[in-house]
Amino acid sequence: MLKSNTTWYVFRHGVTYYSKFGIPYGVYQEKATILPEAIGPITKLGEYLKEVEKPRYFFSSPLLRCRQTSKIVKDVTKVDYHSKKQIIEYMEGDESFDEFSERIKEFLEKYSKFQTMWVCTHGAGLAAIKSHLTKDRFGLFDLLDYPKPGVLWIFKDGQMTEKSFND
C-alpha cells in the first residue's frame, strides 16, 4: 500500500452513452461526451467539494468526458483543473497492464506530498488508485473495481469513504 498523508477526492467522469449501456468506447474513446443527465449528479458532487479543503491541484484526464465533468466541478467550486495525461484511461494495446499500473502509482507518489488533491479520471484509473492507496497490490482482477459516474471516493490514511450524488 502506498503511504500517503494526502486526502484524495477522486471521481469518474459523468455518465456517457457508453458507460450507461456498458458498451466499450472503442474508436470513440477520445470523442465520447457526457449525457445531459450527468450534469445534476456532477453539480451535486461539486457542491460537496466546495465545502471541503481546497486542493493543491485538481487534475483531470485530458479525454473529453473528463474535461466536461471537470468543467462542471470548476464552475461550481471555482477551482481550476489541469489536464494530466498521466491519468488517462487504460487502453489495452497502447500499454501493458503493468505499465498502466506503474503510471498511476507514479502519479500518486508524485502528488502524495500535498495535503488535498482532486482527480477526475476513468474507471480503470479509479480502480488502480483504490488498489494502490488501500491494498498491497493491483491486479487484473481489480480492474473493474470502480464506481458508477456520480460517485466520489475519498481516500485518507489508507481508508476509503464513498459518497453517491446520484438520485
Sequential DSSP letters for the chain: -----PEEEEEEPPPBHHHHHT---GGGTTT--B-GGGHHHHHHHHHHHHTSPPPSEEEE-SSHHHHHHHHHHHHHH----EE-GGGPPP-BTTB-HHHHHHHHHHHHHHHTTSSEEEEEE-HHHHHHHHHHHHSS---GGGTT--PPTTEEEEEETTEEEEEE---
pLDDT at 1 over 80: no
Sorted by where each begins, the domain ranges of the chain are: 7-164
Whole-model pTM: value is: 0.95
In this prediction, residues 46-72 reach a mean pLDDT of 97
The CATH homologous superfamily of the domain defined by 7-164: Phosphoglycerate mutase-like (3.40.50.1240)
Look at residue 49 in the predicted model and tell me its pLDDT.
98
> Considering the chain, what is the average pLDDT of its residues?
95
Look at residue 47 in the predicted model and tell me its pLDDT.
98
